[in-house]
Amino acid sequence: MAYELPPEIVHFVNREDEQNRALTAVAEWNARSRPLCLALSGPGGSGKTELAFRIARTLRDRYPDSVLYVDLDEYRRDGAVVVADVLGQLLVSLGVAPDMLANSFKGRCKQYWTRTDGQRLVVVIDNARYGAEVVPLLPGSGASVAIVASHGPLYDIEDGAAVDLELHPLDAADSAELLRLVVRDQRLSDEPDAARGLVQLCAGLPAALHVAARWIRKYRRRPLSRLLAELSKELDEKGIPVVEKVWDAAYLSLTSEAALLYRLLADHPGPSFTPESATALLGLGRDAADGALEELEVAGLLDTREASSTADGRLRLPELMRAHARRRARTDGAERERAEAQRRIVTWFLRQAQRADLYAAGPRLVVGDAVPPLEGAPDAPLADPTDATDAERRERARSAARWLNTERHALYASVRLAHSLGLDTETWALCEPLWTHFLDHPHPGDDIEVFGLGVAAAGRAGNLPALVRMRCQLARPLWEQGRTDEAAQELARALATLDTLVESTRTSKLRASAIEFRGTLHAVQGDWAAAAADFRRSRDVHHTISNAYGVTLQTYRLGQATAELGDVDEAAQLLAQAHRSAVELGRERLAGRIGFALGGALRGLGRTGEARVLYDDALTSARGRGSEADEQRILDAFAELADEEGHFDEAGAHRAAAHAIRVRNGLA
């Protein structure tokens, strides 16, 4: 069971009516194929998200299969949510292996409905703007409930499909009670007029009350009347929304370094950040960054709820505060400080992504130069697996891959930021490590967009090797979305660019890679003769430059294509040659996959005993890597082999195991 809600806040007042209405709706719901949808709406800072969490916690025992949470703002691009990526995250939370995710939006919808059918789930969907971005995320089960939080009513959700729960600001009594619980300060009793003034200033918004309470705690020696006068003065002079005035007052209490960091955080790529990335953004060293973060936390200008539950101490600047920080940057910041910080953070993320790519995937063909450490900015805590034991090496590689996935939003945002700043080298160089992430965690909307920016940046910079690499990277997500004509155009342009380059070892590797990409596209289109020709040509290039790994890989691909063309004897010879080479090179993952393909060819030749040994090795390798997609394919093939040998009980066991994987991943 997945449970994705943060720890409960200490103090919560009112909202009993909304909670009772929600629980009544749950008790009375009897639809069989459509989940109950509780739609919470209200102004920013009114406590919608926390109420959604509170209802979900109350319902936890009634919905035992999972309690999931997604923030749509984390997936929003130019105002629109990439719903396919949200579905991918929900499916992974439900236990679907990343390599089992459907590639298309429609495919993920079907997979999600299948995976949630009959389940008793709670799905909390935060920061929705339109019903159209919510509907595909509703579970495919009437035994589930979706809790949706939005600033305004979602009128485009089908009439009658949602129970609307509108949140209004707290009244004066509840606001005073919340302030008293959070502060517990004698001044609230000693200065009742000033206390009432503070309550009125916060306009019944729990977020504003919490910030004001922290501010009061910070200045324990100041009379409330003085604090109220300072806040009121700010309100009178600037005339912006009240809740932002409270944040203005908190901001004005900061030291110059903390205020600078707050302004700069408005441009931090991605929805959350770590102490290391904040240090890089500030550019004044770790001690200064730690002090500034402590000030922001005390002032109530940071969301720290994730810090204690994540290994990297992750922090967040909520979107409303991020917007406030942008306004303060326009008022108080200098364009130079902002530009320098943006360049620093892009460079920092590029360095960390290159490190994670190297540690996760090992040495491979890359065009970008390695970025050296940034002065005064600590690296992300990634351990080099080079000199580790086998067990340590595997875990460090997996940790690096997890870092790429955790920071994917920041990396995508860094590509966009770099491109908008005209940092062309950084733009396409960031796309190279994102390729490693894409292979295991495809996000169609983001991948096509950022790889397209990589193409544009490499072209703008006139870096032809990078342009070849970016066009090849862009081609694959295009063809996986069915856009094969566009993919073919990108590969044709890549190969045409290669013809203009001076021959070198790197040019040859790029040429071999581009030809392999074209061969794979031919295979996707079912043209196995053209695919075989390209794999053979790519192998010849690798032979010329004595690249043993490239020769091995293309021999494998050629063997697969030859098998599809019906020449099983030739295919078996090619695959056996590739398998021996992969084992000698110590490429466990590649050896497992080649062994599986070789087993299939040997089965076609009636050599079932040899095929069985290869299938067994491939299955062990797939399970060791945690690749459920490979495991399912091998189990299905094992079942067919067992049938051919007359081992029907064994065949049934293999089929049952493969079916269980499909059920677990919503593909049954």
Give the tens place of pLDDT for each residue, 191-204. Answer: 898 889 888 877 78
**Residue spans per domain, the chain:** 2-166, 172-252, 552-668
pLDDT band for 362, please (50, 70, 90 cuts): confident
Task: List the structure tokens of 457.
Answer: 């940046």
Backbone φ and ψ for 333, nearest 5 degrees, come out as -90, 165
Alpha carbon distances (Å) from 316 to 51, 105, 215, 274, 313:
19, 29, 19, 9, 10
pLDDT band for 345, please (50, 70, 90 cuts): very high
Is residue 160 scored above 80 in pLDDT? no
Task: List the structure tokens of 241.
Answer: 């929304």
Answer whether 167's CB lies under 8 Å from 280's CB: no
Tokens 């719901």, located at residue: 29
Over residues 221-230, the mean pLDDT reads: 83
Residue 52 CB contacts under 8 Å (≥ 6 apart), including other chains: 38, 40, 124, 126, 147, 148, 149
CB atoms within 10 A of CB 514: 26
Is residue 361 scored above 90 in pLDDT? no
Q: HSE (CB half, 13 Å, CA atoms) of 344? A: 26
Q: Closest Cα partner for 448 from 424, 475, 469, 467?
A: 475
The DSSP 8-state label assigned to residue 384 in this structure reads -
pLDDT band for 231, please (50, 70, 90 cuts): low
- Residue 189 is predicted with a pLDDT of 86
Q: Closest Cα partner for 98 from 402, 306, 470?
A: 402
Radius of gyration of the chain (CA): 28
Backbone φ and ψ for 110, nearest 5 degrees, come out as -65, -40
The DSSP 8-state label assigned to residue 168 in this structure reads -
Is residue 483 scored above 60 in pLDDT? yes
Over residues 427-439, the mean pLDDT reads: 94
Task: List the structure tokens of 466.
Answer: 């990078």
pLDDT digits (tens, 9 = 90+) for 312-337: 889 988 777 788 898 899 999 999 99
pLDDT band for 234, please (50, 70, 90 cuts): low
The CATH code of domain 172-252 reads 1.10.8
Render 476-519 in DSSP notation, one character per residue.
Answer: HHHHHTT-HHHHHHHHHHHHHHHTTSPP-HHHHHHHHHHHHHHH
Over residues 398-427, the mean pLDDT reads: 95
Alpha helices, DSSP H, located in 67-223: 83-93, 105-116, 172-183, 187-190, 192-202, 206-218
Residue environment code for 195-223, b if the CB has 16+ CB neighbours within 10 A, otherwise e: bbbbbebbbbbbbbbbbbbbbbeeeeeee
Q: Tell me the average pLDDT of the chain.
A: 90
Task: List the structure tokens of 633.
Answer: 């394919």
Over residues 105-131, the mean pLDDT reads: 92
pLDDT band for 239, please (50, 70, 90 cuts): very low
Helix (H) / strand (E) element for 148: namely: strand 145-150
Is residue 242 scored above 60 in pLDDT? no
**Percent of the residues in the chain that have a pLDDT greater than 70, as a whole number:** 97
d(CA 393, CA 386): 7
Report helix, strand or coil for 69.
strand
d(CA 392, CA 389): 5
Render 6-44 in DSSP notation, one character per residue.
Answer: PPPPS-----HHHHHHHHHHHHH---SSS-EEEEEE--T
Answer whether 5's CB lies under 8 Å from 67's CB: yes
pLDDT digits (tens, 9 = 90+) for 605-663: 999 999 999 999 889 888 877 788 889 999 999 999 999 999 999 999 999 999 999 98
Task: List the structure tokens of 274.
Answer: 């770590």
Backbone φ and ψ for 285, nearest 5 degrees, come out as 95, 165
Please tell me the least confidently modeled range out of 32-46, 101-115, 413-427.
Answer: 32-46
Architecture, CATH, for domain 552-668: Alpha Horseshoe (1.25)
Q: Closest Cα partner for 262 from 240, 238, 291?
A: 291
Render 435-462 in DSSP notation, one character per residue.
Answer: HHHHHHS--HHHHHHHHHHHHHHHHHHT
Is residue 426 scored above 90 in pLDDT? yes
Tokens 């089965």, located at residue: 603
Task: List the structure tokens of 193.
Answer: 């007029």
Tokens 């040899």, located at residue: 610
Over residues 383-389, the mean pLDDT reads: 86
Please tell me the least confidently modeled range out of 39-43, 171-175, 254-258, 556-560.
Answer: 39-43
Helix (H) / strand (E) element for 272: namely: strand 272-273
The DSSP 8-state label assigned to residue 156 in this structure reads T
Angular region, 237: left φ>0, alpha ψ -120 to 50, beta rest? alpha
Tokens 């075989």, located at residue: 532
**Percent of the residues in the chain that have a pLDDT greater than 90, as a whole number:** 59
Report helix, strand or coil for 286.
helix
Alpha carbon distances (Å) from 619 to 572, 613, 638:
19, 10, 9
Alpha carbon distances (Å) from 25 to 36, 66, 328:
8, 20, 43
d(CA 534, CA 539): 8
Is residue 155 scored above 80 in pLDDT? no
Is residue 282 scored above 70 in pLDDT? yes
- Residue 288 is predicted with a pLDDT of 96
Report helix, strand or coil for 93.
helix
The DSSP 8-state label assigned to residue 303 in this structure reads B
- Residue 243 is predicted with a pLDDT of 65
pLDDT digits (tens, 9 = 90+) for 490-535: 999 999 999 999 999 999 999 999 999 999 999 999 999 999 999 9
Over residues 426-435, the mean pLDDT reads: 97
The DSSP 8-state label assigned to residue 203 in this structure reads T
Report helix, strand or coil for 520.
helix
Paired sense of beta strands 76-77 and 2-3, if any = unpaired
Helix axes 548-564, 568-585, angle to 10 degrees: 160
Q: Which fold, 2-166?
A: Rossmann fold (3.40.50)
Q: How many residues does the chain have?
A: 668
d(CA 531, CA 478): 18
- Residue 240 is predicted with a pLDDT of 40
Stated pTM of the model: 0.81
Please tell me the least confidently modeled range out of 25-34, 159-168, 452-461, 623-632.
Answer: 159-168
Tell me the CA end-to-end span of the chain in Å, nearest whole number: 20
Tokens 């997936």, located at residue: 75
d(CA 419, CA 407): 18
pLDDT band for 238, please (50, 70, 90 cuts): low
